[in-house]
Chains A and B, each alone.
Chain A
Amino acid sequence: MSEVAWQKGWWRKDLLSIKELSREEIQMILDTADSFKEISTRDIKKVPTLRGKTVITLFYEPSTRTRTSFEIAAKRLSADTINISVSTSSVVKGETLLDTALNLQAMEPDIIVLRHSAAGAPDMLARALKASVINAGDGFREHPTQALLDMMTVREKKGSLEGLLLAIVGDIAHSRVARSNIYGFKKMGARVRVVGPGTLIPRGIESLGVEVFHDLREGIRGADVVMALRIQRERLEGAFFPSEREYARFFGLSLDVLREMAPNALIMHPGPMNRGVEITPDVADGPGSVILEQVTNGVAVRMAVLYLLAGGTRGEDLH
């Protein structure tokens, strides 16, 4: 076996954001994920690579999907997984994140997958711990593995992201998925538009190199990929837009509106969907929809990230 593979490689201890990654690093994760995808098609969906490693999923926000995806990924690599769910209410009055971190460190985990409602929490944890930290979503800031699986899905279908036009539709302001995808797709050479009502588009977002549209038809015109974001009705209705009905009428993806897209355009959604609000059922289940592929690729991407980080530089190896 060639030793050349050792020369290049992944040196990071943590995966905290897409913003911090180079194009080459993103490419490396996506290539690795492509290779890992095959494992999930085998009868025996397991390789021994991370045998003896401990992966803790630490979730301060409920998310069955992401947690399960990480857990399956870790198990397919033969790692031991432990799931900890913390209710946010106990965080505020209970021990500090740093206390929690040091307690976990004492149990010598290798990788901690953190979901937290506070932006930057994974960075704090990563700084305090020897273990690798994977950001599984922090507040409104980033959700790097989601963007990676989105990029993997589009790359699979389109061959490359270079020169593609992505339109992200909906609640950009409160979306970590939007931020990570803006950074990721831009780095990979795509053009990115954000589409939504003025209240849901953060002021100054043009500084991230995206174009802003408040008209859905205009915003998705010619797009190769349209990504609808989940609308959190409880939080937004009345304050950020008048009603769900009005939102659906002006910003919901329907078959009629989608005629504006490029031929063979892809429809994506990070889930869970509100059918009939940000996306109509016939679009969600229609021909361009790759929503289920996104879920499948999520496992492969997370296997790739776990694999690469487990070989990343540990604190004590730093010179």
Chain B
Amino acid sequence: MPPDTGKRVLLDASGVRRALRRMASQIAERHPGEGDLALVGIRTNGIYIAQRLAKEIEAIEGLRLETGIIDVTLYRDDISRGRPHPLVKRTEIPFPVDDRKIILVDDVLFTGRTTRAALDALMDFGRPALVELAVLVDRGHRELPIRADYVGLEVSTSRDESVIVRMEEAEGADEVLLVGPGWKGES
């Protein structure tokens, strides 16, 4: 049987917008008026999502939260397996994390390994008072005991499918797709 080449749109642009707004209000509800809350996005899409969440929260609370960027490459558990190491980009956390409340932000939560790496990276910068996790899509199949505190969309997938998140900042439009293993992209 040929591999599934199909694609399904999980969220379109307005779906992404609504999901982010919902997540932002949940964060604001749980941390009312907490200006020392900070959002740290995991490269690459996590950065854009963190900035959008900060903007939404600002709209609700009137508070501009600090944001940072984390590159988890150096903390991954799957490098050095006979293929070239992924390129490393900068980590930028322009504030002390000691005793701060931090929300890690990523686009997709899958096995949980990226989150684990991001937690390790974050701990190397200090000792936060609290760390929570916000993801746009939770697609299941966890391999580690990790769960998200804020989820834009929960979707059940099979392991060989892929979730593709496109953000306006990088690709011109917001979109979340679920595609089969044989999907070759769009021409």
Contact = CB atoms under 8 A, between A and B. Distances in A.
A and B, direct touch (CB closer than 8 Å): yes
B83 interface: yes
A296 to B, nearest CB: 16
A313 B72 CA distance: 22
Contacts of B71: 35
Nearest to A6: B86
B72 to A, nearest CB: 7
B173 to A, nearest CB: 17
Q: Is the interface of A mostly helix, strand, loop or mixed?
A: loop
Interface residues of A, number: 34
B172 interface: no
Interface in B127-142: none
B35 interface: no
Q: Is the interface of B mostly helix, strand, loop or mixed?
A: loop
A36 B86 CA distance: 13
Contacts of A9: 83-87
A308 B85 contact: yes
B75 A49 contact: yes
B51 interface: no
Contact of B120 (A43, A48, A304, A308): A48
A37 to B, nearest CB: 8
B125 A307 contact: no
Contacts of A38: 90-92
B159 interface: no
Interface of B: 42-45, 71-75, 79-80, 82-92, 114, 120-121, 124-126
A8 B89 CA distance: 14
B43 A1 contact: yes
A44 B124 contact: yes
A47 B126 contact: no
Contact of B124 (A6, A10, A46, A310): A46
B88 A36 contact: yes
Interface in A130-179: none
A11 B83 CA distance: 8
A47 B75 contact: yes
Nearest to B72: A1
Given A35-B91, A49-B75, 11 more contacts: A1-B43, A1-B72, A2-B44, A5-B73, A9-B86, A9-B87, A28-B87, A35-B71, A35-B90, A53-B80, A77-B74
A5 B87 contact: yes
Interface in A10-64: 10-11, 28, 31-32, 34-36, 38-39, 42-44, 46-49, 53
B84 A11 contact: yes
